[in-house]
Amino acid sequence: MINKQVESPAAAVADIVDGSTVMVGGFGEAGSPIELLHALIDKGPGNLTVINNNTGSGHVGLAALIENRQVSKMICSFPRTANSTVFPDLYRAGLIELELVPQGTLAERIRAGGAGIPAFFTATTIGTPLIEGKEVRTIDGRDYVLEYSLKADFALLKSHQADRYGNLTFNKTARNFAPVMAMAATTTIVQTANLVKAGDIDPEIVITPGIFVDRIVTVHDPALESKLVAEGVKYPS
């Protein structure tokens, strides 16, 4: 019988080791798998490469993982956050590397990684400093830059519903990067607020089919990043 459930966030992230590449779902706090991130802080692997649109807020979740000095490189589109100086301080001190990728190119590189497409051409960044060192080709009279796909050892994601097969639905704009990250990681780990019986998610509305998911852990009342930040919570305390 297929059953992808694991008993705890700690068990779900137990095999993430030093030097892993980890995709983390979420756009700001929407879709951020905060309990999985905190389990990764507890487990403690370092020298991680993390792929996320941002660099976290306050001193919880992704920002806390960075602040705990477990991340050596961020691949993201927007590393500035109004309420966090964690990444900027480390970056200015030369203690963390940044690969800046436009948001749409980031999403497509991840999608390509999951879809078996090694690289693609896009017009995004033509004429900007971000094409430096990249191959440019003219196709039908327009210039395009070659972008390589992105894959990861692990993806940490948050879903609204999940069943034991790993079929997923999401809540509103919390979907963001999760479906493409689920495809692009060797091991996709999902925290879900609602574990339902197989068949309870109508096949017509499954957003991520279970084939892209490896582990499901139930987190009934996931913490809200903005609430933790407003309360001044710091992880680990």
The contact set with another protein (CB under 8 A) reads 27-31, 77-80, 87-88, 91-92, 98, 100, 102-108, 110-111, 122-130, 170-180, 207, 224-226
Kindly state the tokens that stand for 139.
């196709």
> What's the CA gap between 151 and 117, in Å, rounded?
11
Bridge partners, residue 83, by sequence? none
Instruction: State the minimum distance, in angstroms, from the CB of residue 131 to another protein.
Output: 10
Bridge partners, residue 51, by sequence? 23, 75
Nearer to another protein, 163 or 225 (CB): 225
Nearer to another protein, 6 or 207 (CB): 207
Nearer to another protein, 170 or 235 (CB): 170
Instruction: State the minimum distance, in angstroms, from the CB of residue 2 to another protein.
Output: 24
Instruction: State the minimum distance, in angstroms, from the CB of residue 54 to another protein.
Output: 9
Instruction: State the minimum distance, in angstroms, from the CB of residue 83 to another protein.
Output: 10
The burial class, CB within 10 Å (0-12 / 13-18 / 19+), for 7 is exposed
Nearer to another protein, 108 or 163 (CB): 108
